[in-house]
Chain A
Amino acid sequence: EIVLTQSPATLSLSPGERATLSCRASQSVSTDLAWYQQKPGQAPRLLIYDASNRATGIPARFSGSGSGTDFTLTISSLEPEDFAVYYCQQSSDYTFGGGTKVEIK
């Protein structure tokens, strides 16, 4: 089983700042990694797939990078609606990371 470890658990930032979220896999997943955003009381939303491709309708301030075991989700300039929990997910057995909460500082 591939384990995904996300860090940090919580990221405290102000609107307009850059957010950098990390996801590390216990073994190589090539580029088969996705990122989801979940706001309180809502279902998750697909942001990024295949490590770096934005899903339909996702703003350009969201970008993904990485391959193998180390991946990064970057939000270039935080908007108020971006404060949420972010999960990475790998596709070989559908597992998710534990999540990173991006909160307002």
Chain B
Amino acid sequence: QVQLVESGGGVVQPGGSLRLSCAASGFTFRDYGMHWIRQAPGKGLEWVAVIWYDGTTKYYADSVKGRFTVSRDNSKNTLYLQMNSLRAEDTAVYYCARDYKSRLFDYWGQGSLVTVSS
């Protein structure tokens, strides 16, 4: 069965950096685009970034553009999110999700909490 497991979350100071990972299993990872989506505490869902199946194309939400970088290693079935210049408003649970039909999210991980605080 499809499994997505995020890791790498934690507490970081404003201006700091953190890298999240998402380990995929149960499907052919290299055939699918992948997304990062976040949810601030008690708030709704916000799409963050997408990377095409082969890593050649990436898109970002305006709120993270220039600070976050999405990447993948298809040999390791792993998705990454490098987060730099973190702000308090980046505090959220970060989910990785598999792309479906180039516009939907059909499988989600359990999430990884990132807290930006001094």
Contacts and interface: CB of A to CB of B under 8 A. Distances in A.
Interface of A: 32, 34, 36, 38, 42-46, 49, 55, 87, 89, 91-99
Contacts, number: 48
Interface string B88-108: 000000010000111111101
Contact of A49 (B50, B95, B100, B108): B100
Given A43-B111, A94-B35, A94-B50, A87 B45 contact: yes
A25 to B, nearest CB: 14
Interface of B: 35, 44-47, 50, 95, 100-106, 108-111
Q: How would you classify the secondary structure of chain B's contact residues: helix, strand, loop or mixed?
A: strand
B104 A91 contact: yes
A89 B44 CA distance: 11
Contacts of B109: 43
A34 B109 CA distance: 19
A94 B47 contact: yes
A43 B109 CA distance: 7
